[in-house]
Amino acid sequence: MSSPNRRTSQHNAPIAHLKANDFKNASQAALQDAPLRRALSRATDTFKQRRLGALEEVDDWEALRTHGRAIKDETLSRLDHHLLRFVDQATARGTQVHFAATREEACTWIADLAERLDVKTVVKSKSMTTEEIGLNAALEERDLHPVETDLGEWIIQLADETPSHIIVPAIHKSRESVAKLFEERLGAEPDLDAIRLTQLAREILRGSYLEAELGVSGINFAIAETGSFLVLENEGNARLTTSLPRVHVAIMGIEKLLPRWADLETFLRLLPRSGTGQHLTSYQSIFTGPKRNPEDEGPEEVHVLILDNGRSKILDDDVTRETLACIRCGACLNACPVYAQVGGHAYGSVYPGPIGAILTPQLAGSKEAVPLPGASSLCGACRDVCPVKIDIPRILLHQRNEVTRKLPMHAPFERLAMKAFARMACAPGLWHRSLALARPFLRFAAGSSLPSRALRCMIPPLAAWSKKRSLPGPARHSFRQRYQRKNS
């Protein structure tokens, strides 16, 4: 595995810790990492099975997906209107709403707030958006002490790594390596089992919740109609993060909105089933403003920070706009044959897998993530499992097209070859004659006595291609020839 070290933060890139252009080396390293691949295949297989089990209970899953997508399309097509409504409604109920155009603005705003409140410890529940903006590194630079409280996130924070899965961030780590980490960093007894490790996390993090005066959470869905927002989880760390500290800050991308309170029903049926294969996660919290008289419990101040960071650019493109319908369930990661082999870190982005392959280049710019649109076999499994029917393969193709057009270094040979191929493939007569001519040569090159032997090309541009792929030599007669003979 290439080192997924957090300290490589690039200050100017729109996504923190971005190393997507290293995909080729990182994925090759991952393929050599047997324990990683075992962990990945076990995790992705388990989630796939659980998801299928959870779908069976729903009467009409397809209709539910269509409905979810319709709500997202409705939201995105009038996002300005819904956002303003959210701001008005949330403000009317005592929530303070703020905007950040970039990740620096978002980090600065949160750090400024922490300083104004004079807090040192900031507890955080799991949020991909805070990973995207690199909040922890930014807070540390200002001498603040952020503490991740989701068990997986806490593990990778202790290990100084980045998440490798949207839902289970430490999926790449074995129980042994977590035990070793706890031993080294926390002075734990050696070789603890998962139950003891979890208990230890509970004990230590309880202190952090009670000490922290600022809690930061993400947002799964925000409601324009009431200015409310919902957070889903299994551990209870988000409930603690948003209940114990005096101030609660929730951060979301502009696309997290739903128009109506009633829309939650559809997404509560879609998200847990797609993500972890649960019919519902253990906890959902729907927040509408700070505590009201006569409540003793809950935060005195609630802030929502709305982040753009490149999303409005995605909204501006008719082809890729649907990327913003994503509800971050992680189903496409589990379904993807490429993700299952190389894992999340190979993508060099906090957003890995199929959704990461389309989202990362759009947020960061295609030059920052050249290989990612190619990191797919276009099998379409991601599209089939997506709870909001995002056509990821279509967007991948669109992005490959963009990359090829923008980066002329690939161009001369490939373009010429593709043009020649297109010409041939469009003329049936020419196509058959060329194939008939090429067949004996290709058979000779592959070693005609051994039909299983693969073609290997030594000529430079093709050599690079055939080094990693086997192209079997052609059969003596084509299918068409055999079909015609049989029917004549």
Partner 1 sequence: MNHEAANKARATVMDSIKQALRNVRATQSAPPQIPGRPKPMDSVKDLTHAFRTRLESVGGQVHLVPDACGARNLLRTLVEENDWQEIAVTDGPLVAQATDELDATTFEGSKDLDRLACCSMGITGVQHAIAETGTLVLFSHAEAHRLTSLLPPVHIALVDQSQIVLDLGEALSIAHKVDGGEPPPLVTFITGPSRTADIELTMVTGVHGPRELIVILIAPDSL
- Site residues for partner 1, 294-353, by CB under 8 A, read 295-298, 306, 308, 312-313, 315-316, 318, 321
Q: Token match 């807070």: residue?
A: 139
Q: Pick the piece of the chain touching partner 1 (CB under 8 A) from 17-25, 233-241, 402-410, 463-471.
A: 233-241
Q: How far is the CB of 463 from partner 1 (least distance, A)?
A: 41
**Which residue's CB is nearer to partner 1, number 99 or number 431?**
99
365 Cβ partners below 8 Å, 6+ apart?
14
421 Cβ partners below 8 Å, 6+ apart?
none
Any contact of residue 74 with partner 1 (CB under 8 A)? yes
Any contact of residue 63 with partner 1 (CB under 8 A)? yes
The candidate with the shortest Cα–Cα distance to 79, out of 250, 259, 207, is 259
Query: CA distances (Å), 89 to each of 114, 225, 229, 306, in order?
Result: 25, 7, 11, 15
**Which residue's CB is nearer to partner 1, number 181 or number 446?**
181
- Which of positions 237-296 make contact with partner 1 (CB under 8 A)? 237, 239-240, 243-244, 254, 259, 261-266, 268-269, 276, 278-292, 295-296
Q: How far is the CB of 84 from partner 1 (least distance, A)?
A: 7
**Which residue's CB is nearer to partner 1, number 310 or number 373?**
310
- Which of positions 75-94 make contact with partner 1 (CB under 8 A)? 77-80, 83-84, 93
463 Cβ partners below 8 Å, 6+ apart?
457
**Which residue's CB is nearer to partner 1, number 21 or number 198?**
198
Rounded Cα distance between 182 and 176, Å, is 10
- Applying CB under 8 A, the site for partner 1 has a residue count of 102
State the DSSP string of 71-111: HHHHHHHTHHHHHHHHHHHHHHTT-EEEEESSHHHHHHHHH
Q: 274's torsion region: left (phi>0), alpha (psi -120 to 50) or beta?
A: alpha
Q: How far is the CB of 116 from partner 1 (least distance, A)?
A: 10
**Which residue's CB is nearer to partner 1, number 255 or number 368?**
255
- Other CB atoms within a 10 A radius of the CB of residue 11 amount to 10
**Which residue's CB is nearer to partner 1, number 141 or number 414?**
141
Query: CA distances (Å), 56 to each of 110, 268, 273, 401, 461, in order?
Result: 43, 16, 10, 38, 48
Q: How far is the CB of 410 from partner 1 (least distance, A)?
A: 30
**Which residue's CB is nearer to partner 1, number 329 or number 375?**
329
Q: Pick the piece of the chain touching partner 1 (CB under 8 A) from 24-32, 166-174, 346-354, 442-450.
A: 166-174
Q: How far is the CB of 420 from partner 1 (least distance, A)?
A: 38
Q: How far is the CB of 270 from partner 1 (least distance, A)?
A: 8
Per-residue contact flags (x/-) with partner 1 for residues 203 to 232, judged by CB under 8 A:
--xx---x---------------x-x----
What's the start-to-end Cα distance of the chain, in Å?
58
- For residue 274, how far is the Cα from the chain centroid? 14
432 Cβ partners below 8 Å, 6+ apart?
480
In one-letter notation, the amino acid at residue 37 is R
- Other CB atoms within a 10 A radius of the CB of residue 192 amount to 18
Per-residue contact flags (x/-) with partner 1 for residues 106 to 125, judged by CB under 8 A:
--xx--x-------------
**Which one of 54, 168, 247, 325 is in contact with partner 1 (CB under 8 A)?**
168
Tokens linked to 46: 């388990």
**Which one of 197, 327, 342, 369 is in contact with partner 1 (CB under 8 A)?**
197
Any contact of residue 195 with partner 1 (CB under 8 A)? yes
**Which residue's CB is nearer to partner 1, number 20 or number 263?**
263
Apex CA 34: angle with CA 31 and CA 36, to 5°? 80
Any contact of residue 139 with partner 1 (CB under 8 A)? no
Query: CA distances (Å), 12 to each of 163, 312, 354, in order?
Result: 20, 18, 24
- Which of positions 360-399 make contact with partner 1 (CB under 8 A)? none
